[in-house]
Amino acid sequence: MNLIIPGLARTATKSLWRFFKDHPDVAASKIKEPLRLNDISNYLNNFDITNEEVIFDGTPDLTNYPIIHELISHREITNIYQIWFNRDPSERVRSYTRRLSKLSVEDMRTLKGVIFEKDMDKQLTKAKSILGDENVFVSDINQDVERRIEKFLGITVTTNCMLWDKH
């Protein structure tokens, strides 16, 4: 069974989860981020698996946590693929601050996306080292990215479109 995971938080992870929920070849997690609420011992119970050989877990940042190594060694999971969207670091900062509402305006001016840009580069390098270059799809969010994702994963090419949640 192949597992698909998203990249970093605040980079269209909810849009990916919704897209895969409607895909005929993929069993998306019942809740977007099952590993935030459940442990790994009954991991596959987080999915309604019928005949699908592909599952999608909407938990972002998994390659940042030791749990990724548990997933890699999970006996039912043969491959892990990551869909990684580039997002303007300043937009990501704004998205985080809107969500968390904890940073002051002055803190936001100080950040200006520099920290997030370095973090994204560092985390992408880490993801590729863990999963392998060939298992990480990297793209900007643009027209027809859905078809390129389906081809990358070797799943049915549909006409399903991703609804982009802008936060």
Specify if 75 maps to a domain. Answer: yes
State the chain's mean pLDDT as an integer.
83
pTM of the model: 0.81
From the number of C-beta atoms within 10 Å of its C-beta (0-12, 13-18, 19+), residue 84 rates as buried
Write out pLDDT tens, residues 128-150: 999 999 999 999 887 789 999 99
Distance CA 16, CA 145 (A): 11
Specify if 115 maps to a domain. Answer: no
The number of distinct structural domains making up the chain is 1
Specify if 143 maps to a domain. Answer: yes
**Half-sphere exposure at residue 165, Cβ-oriented, CA atoms within 13 angstroms:** 13
From the number of C-beta atoms within 10 Å of its C-beta (0-12, 13-18, 19+), residue 110 rates as exposed
pLDDT above 90: percentage of residues in the chain: 40
Residue type, 6: P
φ, ψ dihedrals at 123, nearest 5°: -70, -35
Q: Specify the pLDDT at position 1.
A: 92
Write out pLDDT tens, residues 32-50: 998 876 677 788 888 988 8
Quick check: 159 pLDDT over 90?
Answer: yes
Q: What is the domain range of residue 38?
A: 2-87+135-153
**Half-sphere exposure at residue 101, Cβ-oriented, CA atoms within 13 angstroms:** 1
Quick check: 114 pLDDT over 50?
Answer: no
Write out pLDDT tens, residues 7-28: 887 788 888 999 999 999 999 9
